[in-house]
């Protein structure tokens, strides 16, 4: 007995016609590859906005090595794009393909300070990037020239500075950086008004301090530690909440009676429109790397404090610090353009 003879074929015909169409519609979805499948598929570029040898570069190369190991040897290339306090690097990263193969080592300067210092930025920190994870916090060290600034601590530095008829000069690692505005924040706390001198790279800042062209510098622990150890410069204070493991002999500002902390941070961001599945994968990989005892030891030896956060926590930090540093910039009246 056939379906036609029993009158069943006309009744089933719409279902039989629709079935191949439903299968065809479901097939692409089932075959769609995961955004993380085989990731990374080629070398990953980690852009950093400072030259080789600077603190951010040291951190970037450590992260690159550890991520490469975690990814089974897939290369992670550190791409130095120095200049403008990290703006050149951020601008290039913002234009990159959102496929997880370009990462930016973002920092306090180019993600939260820049909007307050520039009327027009070539990128929008909140719209052009997706936060992946904060990776470290960074303290500063107030360094002075051992011979030309005869002081031993911050209070002596303040008293000596107040007596200088021409004022004091503080070097920075570039206009718009945390060290730039940190100099004014510190100066306000100790009743000293510094004149800032901006340098283009780490070596020039240290040379200027050694030569006496500037009296003091707020430098990262990674930059300060070897120069202080060499005996050329004095470390007067660390600006974090506690003594830094890389320089445990140097007291904090608070230990010296100055109720002030000045810290910055570094974190990984990726271009906007990067699939969230891939962002979550990157976050998980970074956290695994940062939780490794060897990685943590090497990060601390470089003067940083390893953190590692969820992407949501990092996004909240960026938003809150944008307001905090924005007020500090506004107090100086500084504009970069």
Chain centroid, CA 166 distance in Å: 35
pLDDT of residue 36: 76
Where in the chain are the domains? 44-138+264-332, 139-256
Residue of 183, 180, 84, 93 lying closest to 129 (CA atoms): 93
Domain 139-256 classified CATH 3.40.190.10? yes
Q: Same CATH topology for 44-138+264-332 and 139-256? A: yes
pLDDT of residue 200: 81
pLDDT tens for the chain, residues 1 to 337: 333 444 544 454 444 444 444 444 454 544 455 667 789 999 999 999 988 888 889 999 999 999 999 999 999 999 999 888 789 999 999 999 999 999 999 999 999 999 999 989 999 999 999 999 999 999 999 999 999 999 999 999 999 999 999 999 999 988 888 999 999 999 999 999 999 999 987 889 999 999 999 999 999 898 899 999 998 899 999 999 999 988 999 999 999 999 999 999 999 999 999 999 999 999 999 999 999 999 999 999 888 999 999 999 999 999 999 999 999 999 899 998 8
pLDDT of residue 19: 46
Other C-beta atoms closer than 10 Å to the C-beta of 289 total 24
Task: Check: CB of residue 154 under 8 Å from CB of residue 142.
Answer: yes
Q: Strand 76-80 and strand 102-107: pairing?
A: unpaired
pLDDT of residue 123: 96
pLDDT of residue 173: 86
Distance, first Cα to last Cα, the chain: 87
pLDDT of residue 27: 47
What is the rounded distance in angstroms from the CA atom of residue 266 to the CA atom of residue 108? 7
pLDDT of residue 301: 87
> Three-state SS across the chain?
CCHHHHCHHHHHHHHHHHHHHHHHHHHHHHHCCCCCCCCCCCCEEEEECCCCCCHHHHHHHHHHHHHHHHCCCCCEEEEECCCHHHHHHHHHHHCCCCCCCEEEEEEHHHHHHHHHHCCCCCCCCCCCEEEEEEEEEEEEEEEEECCCCCCCCHHHHHHHHHCCCCCCEEEECCCCCHHHHHHHHHHHHCCCCCEEEECCCHHHHHHHHHHCCCCEEEEEHHHHHHHHHCCCEEEEEECCCCCCCCCCCCCECHHHCCCCCCEEEEEEEEECCCCHHHHHHHHHHHHHHHCCHHHHHHHHHCCEEECCCCHHHHHHHHHHHHHHHHHHHHHHCCCCC
pLDDT of residue 60: 96
pLDDT of residue 227: 92
Give the CATH number of domain 44-138+264-332; options: 3.40.190.150, 3.40.50.1980, 3.40.640.10, 3.90.76.10: 3.40.190.150
φ and ψ of 309, to 5 deg: -135, 170
pLDDT of residue 10: 47
pLDDT of residue 4: 42
pLDDT of residue 53: 81
pLDDT of residue 6: 43
């Amino acid at each position: 007995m056939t379906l036609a003879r029993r009158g069943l074929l006309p009744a089933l015909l719409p279902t039989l016609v629709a079935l191949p169409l439903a299968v065809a519609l479901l097939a692409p979805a089932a075959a769609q590859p995961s955004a993380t499948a085989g990731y990374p598929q080629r070398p990953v570029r980690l852009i950093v906005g400072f030259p080789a040898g600077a603190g951010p570069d040291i951190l970037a190369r450590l992260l690159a090595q550890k991520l490469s190991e975690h990814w089974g040897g897939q290369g992670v290339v550190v791409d130095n794009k120095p200049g403008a306090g990290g703006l050149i690097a951020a601008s290039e990263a913002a234009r990159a393909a959102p496929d997880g193969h370009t990462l930016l080592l973002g920092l306090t300067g180019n993600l939260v300070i820049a909007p307050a210092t520039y009327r027009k930025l070539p990128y929008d920190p909140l719209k052009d990037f997706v936060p992946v994870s904060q990776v470290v916090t960074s303290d500063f060290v107030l360094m002075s020239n051992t011979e030309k600034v005869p002081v031993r601590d911050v209070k002596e530095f303040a008293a000596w500075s107040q007596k200088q008829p021409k004022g004091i000069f503080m070097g920075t690692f570039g206009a718009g950086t945390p060290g730039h505005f940190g100099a004014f924040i510190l100066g306000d706390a100790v009743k000293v008004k510094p004149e800032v001198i901006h340098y283009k790279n780490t070596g020039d800042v240290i040379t200027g301090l050694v030569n006496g062209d500037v009296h003091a510098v707020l430098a990262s622990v990674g930059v300060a530690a070897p120069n202080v150890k060499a005996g050329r410069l004095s470390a007067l204070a660390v600006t974090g909440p506690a003594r830094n493991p890389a320089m445990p002999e140097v007291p904090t500002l608070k230990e010296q009676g100055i109720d002030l902390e000045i810290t910055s941070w570094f974190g990984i961001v990726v271009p906007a429109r990067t699939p969230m599945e891939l962002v979550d994968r990157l976050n998980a990989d970074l956290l695994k790397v940062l939780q490794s005892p060897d990685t943590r030891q090497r990060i601390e030896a470089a003067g940083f404090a390893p953190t590692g956060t969820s992407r949501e926590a990092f996004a909240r930090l960026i938003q809150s610090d944008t307001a905090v540093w924005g007020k500090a910039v506004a107090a100086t009246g500084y504009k970069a353009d």
